[in-house]
Structure 1
């Protein structure tokens, strides 16, 4: 939703940020790296990792920090950061985090939507270390599903979210996800081998891989096991997808009928070359692809003619075998050495297109109009980049 002014909220104590970020909203801070920078490495450098905040960044003392675990548990807990590090096994996973609003700006260009504008770089990949949420919940003697334990509800310490009347950010995931050993939900205290920076949730945050980034709550204050999903604005009145007949005049009757977004869709985007580039042959297309639910990206297709014909891109990612969950993106590249339509011309305008496929044979829809929704979430239509290719051989003859 749109950000409202709140005179009681101060952004005077924000952390340092990379000056190279593309800033989409200043306060609260929302920014993404340059798209060419995004795909330079499989693991995103911490300072280049996109930032999605809903309120001022809290400045938390890790020595006095305490995590509360309550609700449908037999042994409510209050755990210090030291308790979490020393009492529970440390687990490390590579996982991409992606905002549900990634590529929102493109959807808004088709038809106006509400929300912070995002290009194609509101996702990043890091190495996360922490304890399993499952281990802490078992230590708390969590109730069973038949006893009503259906949702793990998270609350942050980032007070001042204007959308929720100054409350901190909140969200939830299903207990099925939370308690799945292969679901890899972490309470993370390290990012890329170092303590979490403030912008990314110090001292403790949720990492719920394979689902939208909105569920990976930062600056974690409390975990409540509940029979109901989070009552937070961001669970009940945001991050839901409707058909294009729902607008702000009639949406109220659909909020409670529509499920909250969880798993991410299959997604890909071209990061290099940039739109409207002018290039000589040969050149290389570079981008990323990712999917939700731990599904492996099996292939990325590239078209040089707007989607009429396709070829396979080369993938660069993890290979865990068929029985493992894939939480990280793959990077792809495709080198163009010749272009038949350029023959006997001094230049040729072409439309580059990419689309990805995952292990469940999910692929991206062609047109943004088919998935338009008033919140501008989950835009995963084909990604295209229009460029001009110059004929070097004709230039050399001049």
Structure 2
């Protein structure tokens, strides 16, 4: 296995402490399943070093447990499950929003996303074994080994999502053990939700009658209107980000590319959270005219992205390529960055635009 430093060298690194990085977009688009070494990394604290032989996961809380599980216990006591799902940071495409006004956070391009085969056990199986009552109005809180501003990382999801078949406690990615930066030895995988709800390096799961009070849940990852600033934001008034919006991005050609006139392949991805992408429109003239792309989606993977591709005949000159997706509810993306701008730069989901020069 390559070293962490070798894997970092393959990525666009936004920060080393904490470590945050994304792949170049053409390489992201090269494979429907993103290799672990090319998968974006989002960390909020330093990467913890964990010995799998001594790792334990505790399960407790409202009417459940307690359970104390080793990695071997998870494998032996519960049936293995694999889910093909896309993981995406809520800040994906944040860099685009800077064209409107400054935003806080890492300046992600469109690469804070990836798709993998996640293998582990269903979180619902573990919770039922601990005695949870399905249908109760409860929340499942996660606590991790990484530390953020002096406190363990912590978030929560509703019990209904925790019991859904797609939600996993994963210990493998694309058939291999998780890499340290992706949550070794075990992490949550909550398909369709922002990556923040899929905590890595798990150590405790608690069933409770309220969402997590950890700052990561209570204060951060909130969506605010455009008139709210960092100084005026009240976390209690913000929308907690869970399900991700419809989005699409151009991966090839890259921004600023110099191309020869004529037929030009244009490729990218689209994603619709827990809905299907049914159409992708691509423009070579900034949205004045559109053509429909060919779609590639894997059957039986409702939480995975859709790849799209089209060939445009581009004459000489400067061109603004644009893409917009449509989902199974008949919804499409807003045209302008202004329509989704917020001071945290979350959920950047307007048309993705790429300027190229054709000789």
**Deviation of 1:15 (Å):** 6.5
- In the alignment, is residue 115 of structure 1 matched against residue 115 of structure 2? no
Q: Is the 1:15–1:198 Cα contact (8 Å) retained in structure 2?
A: no
1:212 equivalent in alignment to 2:181: no
Per-residue CA deviation, residues 266-324 of structure 1 (Å, 9 max, x unaligned), is 010001111121211222001111111x211111100111111111101112123xxxx
Written as runs of structure 1 = structure 2, the 5 A alignment for 1:211-290 is 211-252=193-234, 255-280=235-260, 281-290=262-271
User: Is residue 2:32 matched to residue 1:42?
Assistant: yes
Partners of 2:71 and 2:38 in 1: CA distance: 26
Deviates more, 1:172-181 or 1:41-50: 172-181
Displacement after TM superposition at 1:179 (Å): 1.4
Change (3 A) 1:311 1:14: closer
| Contact persistence 1:156–1:221 (CA under 8 A) | yes
SS in 1 for 2:73: helix
Q: How does 1:192-207 map to 2 (within 5 A)?
A: 192-207=174-189
RMSD after superposition: 1.5
Partner of 2:305: 329
Q: In structure 1, what is the Cα distance between the partners aligned to 2:107 and 2:319?
A: 27
Q: Deviations over 1:31-53 (max 9, x none)?
A: 00011110000001111111011
What is aligned with 1:102? 92
- How far did residue 16 of structure 1 move? 5.2
Is the 8 Å Cα contact of residues 14 and 56 (structure 1) preserved in structure 2? Answer: no
Where does residue 282 of structure 2 map in the other structure?
302
Partner Cα separation in structure 2 for residue 373 and residue 18 of structure 1: 30
Task: List per-residue Cα deviations over 1:94-127 (Å, max 9, x = no partner).
Answer: 1110000001111123211111111110001111
Aligned to 2:291: 311
Q: Is the 8 A contact 2:64 2:207 kept in 1?
A: no
Larger mean CA deviation between 241-250 and 29-38 belongs to 241-250
- More strand per residue: 2
CA–CA separation in structure 2 for the residues paired with 1:201 and 1:15:
17
Aligned residues: 356
Deviation at 1:17, TM superposition (A): 2.5
Distance (Å, rounded) in 2 between the aligned partners of 1:129 and 1:283: 38
The structure that has the greater radius of gyration is: 1
Cα displacement (A) at 1:257: 2.6
Secondary structure of 1:157's aligned partner: strand
User: Matched residues in 2 for 1:168 and 1:15: separation?
Assistant: 25
Compute the TM-score of the two structures, normalised by the length of structure 1: 0.87
**Partner Cα distance (2:202, 2:63) in 1:** 18
Aligned to 2:156: 172
The 1:197/1:141 distance shift into structure 2, 3 A limit, reads: same
TM-fit CA distance, 1:362: 2.3
**Aligned counterparts of 1:217 and 1:72: Cα–Cα separation in 2:** 21
What's the counterpart of residue 331 of structure 2? 362
Shifted more, 131-140 versus 73-82: the winner is: 73-82
**What TM-score do the two structures reach when normalised by structure 2?**
0.96
The 2-side partners of 1:370 and 1:45 are apart by 33
Question: 2:224–2:239: 8 Å Cα contact kept in structure 1?
Answer: no
Tell me if the contact between 2:134 and 2:160 (Cα under 8 Å) persists in the aligned partners: no
- Structure 1 unaligned regions, length at least 5: 1-12, 391-398
**Which structure 2 residues correspond to residues 119-138 of structure 1 after superposition, within 5 A?**
119-138=109-128
Runs (4+) off by over 3 Å: 13-16, 143-146
| Structure 2 residue matching 1:283: 3-state secondary structure | strand
